[in-house]
Amino acid sequence: MSIAQKLKIARAQFVLSDPFFAMLLLRMPLIESTSTKSMKTNSIVLEYNPEFIKSLTASELTGVLIHEVLHCVFLHFARQKERNLKRWNIACDYAINPVVL
């Protein structure tokens, strides 16, 4: 299965299981990028590393997608301000991951 198909299937499953989050997810174009190790969003686009996507199971991919959508829901991109990017992202991940689980 290609990376594009894997992402398409994961996004389609969201429509059935989590329509609210699916609406947010489907508004973000998917951009292939080898400059990121995994996946990231700036609230406008969703960048992904194809090797990372290839390594994930279907349920892991679902978890990563909802994780990225929750960064947008919690407005993390808008609240960073002058905070250290790496530390801010780690703190935001601590807030998101329990919700994903």
Average pLDDT of span 71-83? 89
Average pLDDT of span 38-61? 94
SS3 string, the chain, reads: CCHHHHHHHHHHHHHHHCHHHHHHHHCCCEEECCCCCCEEECCCCEEECHHHHHHCCHHHHHHHHHHHHHHHHCCHHHHCCCCCHHHHHHHHHHHHHHHHC
Residue 89 confidence (pLDDT) above 90: no
Calculate the average pLDDT of the chain: 92
Whole-prediction pTM = 0.88
Average pLDDT of span 56-62? 92
Q: Give the model confidence (pLDDT) of 6-30 as tens digits.
A: 999 999 988 888 898 899 999 999 9
Residue 54 confidence (pLDDT) above 90: yes
pLDDT score, position 50: 96
pLDDT score, position 2: 92
